[in-house]
Amino acid sequence: MKSQGRDDDREPRDTSNDLPWPDEIFELELDPDLLKELESFGGRTSTLAKHMLSVQVLADSDPEMSYQHAARIRGRIPRSALARQTICIAAYRTARFKEAVKEESAYRRISGNFDLVPIAADSERGLNRPQRALDFGAEFEREDLDPDTRTELFIVMGGARRDLGDTEAARVFMQKAVRAAKSPLAMARSRFALGELLVATGDAEQAKKWLQSAVDIDEDAVWTEASVLLESLS
């Protein structure tokens, strides 16, 4: 899960609609539930909706511009859980790890939800603070997390243990992630994480087993790079 790159804690100037709109957004409609939340804050909902669509459209192709659109939403409706959730994810994807940690806290405070806890924990890893990532993750292990969030948190905590050189403890966390996984996404990601760790520790045969399991679930290689890693072991 860990992102790579710079960390920049500065928040951009909010001028709300000074960014170019991607052409694709004019052929799309925002999810009704998202639109309803934006409308609840009043004001120029159409502009906010275009920013949100831009965040979604640009997330993979231009993460930096996606972040800028997310920042415009936060600037307009800072008390919105949706705005804080959106900027947290966008900050993480652009390696603004300090900002991601801060925004996850704001989102959790407003919404009461824990789904971005793994992003905050992994951001601590991005800041080269693996022990803080572990301490932070441990605070939420006993919370009523949904299976996908719990799986992702275990993966991050396993990664933090690996950062600290404790591969045995890392393996325990990755195995816990495999057991916690329920959805195809979580199952593929946890198996890939365990397989990747086993490759790093020299257990190629066991690694192949878990990587193949991830490939079987993620046949189109949407969620992991298990097929690439598995091929490299052949």
What domains, with CATH codes, occur in the chain? 1-113 (1.25.40), 114-234 (1.25.40.10)
DSSP 143: S
Convert the pLDDT of each residue in 166-224 to its tens digit.
999 999 999 999 999 999 999 999 999 999 999 999 999 999 999 999 999 999 999 99
Question: For residues 74 and 30, what is the distance between their CA atoms, to the nearest angstrom?
Answer: 17
Is the distance from CB of 49 to CB of 38 less than 8 angstroms?
yes
Where is pLDDT greater, at 206 or 14?
206
Confidence at residue 197, expressed as pLDDT on a 0 to 100 scale: 98
Q: How confident is the model at residue 11 (pLDDT cuts 50, 70, 90)?
A: very low
Confidence at residue 2, expressed as pLDDT on a 0 to 100 scale: 52
Question: For residues 137 and 124, what is the distance between their CA atoms, to the nearest angstrom?
Answer: 10
Confidence at residue 234, expressed as pLDDT on a 0 to 100 scale: 82
Where is pLDDT greater, at 1 or 87?
87
Confidence at residue 142, expressed as pLDDT on a 0 to 100 scale: 80
Q: How confident is the model at residue 29 (pLDDT cuts 50, 70, 90)?
A: very high
Given a cut of 60, whether residue 13 has pLDDT beyond it is no
Given a cut of 90, whether residue 6 has pLDDT beyond it is no
Confidence at residue 7, expressed as pLDDT on a 0 to 100 scale: 54
Convert the pLDDT of each residue in 59-79 to its tens digit.
999 999 999 999 999 999 999
Tokens of 11: 């928040």
Helix, strand, coil in percent for the chain, rounding step 5: 70, 0, 30
Query: For the ranges 11-15, 21-25, 184-188, which has the lowest average pLDDT?
Result: 11-15
Convert the pLDDT of each residue in 104-160 to its tens digit.
999 999 999 999 999 999 999 999 999 999 999 999 988 889 999 999 999 999 999
Given a cut of 80, whether residue 16 has pLDDT beyond it is no
Question: For residues 208 and 226, what is the distance between their CA atoms, to the nearest angstrom?
Answer: 9
DSSP 183: S
How far, rounded to the nearest angstrom, does the alpha carbon of residue 101 sit from its chain's CA centroid? 12
Query: For the ranges 32-41, 63-72, 88-97, 190-199, which has the lowest average pLDDT?
Result: 32-41
